[in-house]
Amino acid sequence: FNYVKKKYNSPFCLSSRSTQLHLKNVYSSLALCMFVAAAGAYVHVITRLFQGGLLTMLGSLAMMVWLTMTPHCPQTEKKRLAILSGFAFFIGVGLGPTMDYIISINPSIIVTAFLGTSIIFVCFTLSALYAQRRSFLFLWGTLTSGLSILLLVSFLNMFLGSVMLFKAHIYLGLAIMCGFVLFDTQLIIEKAEMGDKDYIWHSVDLFLDFVTIFRKLMVILAMNEKDNKKKK
């Protein structure tokens, strides 16, 4: 009993060697997603060869479905990494319209938002890794309830058009996504401990967390920049 208690209350640094290796693969795949998504955003913002919109959203959904339907095994590893890259590319291109808007206000916001997102992501990831195992899995109920509230607020604001409600939606969404970084990180560890070594799919969860935080942080910084300009 003491062994089981120690095992499930220990931080990630005391997890099995295979789980630590799995996390390295997950974050390597996440780095690949970041690079490809940056290339996708570059294509939209700079080259204009491919524009973000409905087609890119459908493309990312198609890639995600294709990835889930392709079994995880050594024979399909390269294929699934290629699909993951395609998914990340469409997500990056999809960020283009938001980035166009941000650039029209202040281009430096993009760099600031990326650095801020990176700091937030690293801090919450380390918190999840070095906390007791399963300590953040209880957040699932709170996070899903928060998402339901966001959907309701978004629906109501379609008719109300309230700026304050929009700001509340953005800030609440940012807080919820930070919670998802904690939850998803520890969930990936638990899945790995139980034998689920699909690091490619696990990286998708963290990638979407990062992109969503980045998008919301860009919008928050842009709103603050516009408010400052109005005051001046």
What are the tens digits of pLDDT across the range 171-203?
999 999 999 999 999 999 999 988 889 999 999
Q: Supply the pLDDT for residue 48.
A: 78
- Taking alpha carbons only, the member of 79, 72, 82 closest to residue 191 is 72
- Write out pLDDT tens, residues 73-112: 989 999 999 999 999 999 999 999 999 999 999 999 999 9
Q: Are 35 and 72 in contact (CB under 8 A)?
A: no
Using 50, 70 and 90 to split pLDDT, how confident is the model at 162? confident
Q: Supply the pLDDT for residue 12.
A: 54
Q: Supply the pLDDT for residue 2.
A: 43
Answer whether 0.85 is exceeded by the pTM: yes
Rounded CA separation 66/79 (Å): 11
Tokens at 197, concatenated = 């070594």
Please state, rounded to an integer, the average pLDDT across all residues of the chain.
Answer: 89
Q: Are 215 and 39 in contact (CB under 8 A)?
A: no
Q: Supply the pLDDT for residue 1.
A: 40
Q: Supply the pLDDT for residue 10.
A: 52
Q: Which residue has the higher pLDDT, 57 or 131?
A: 57
Mean pLDDT of 38-45: 92
82 C-beta neighbours (distance < 10 Å), count: 12
Tokens at 81, concatenated = 């990494």
Residues in the chain, how many? 232
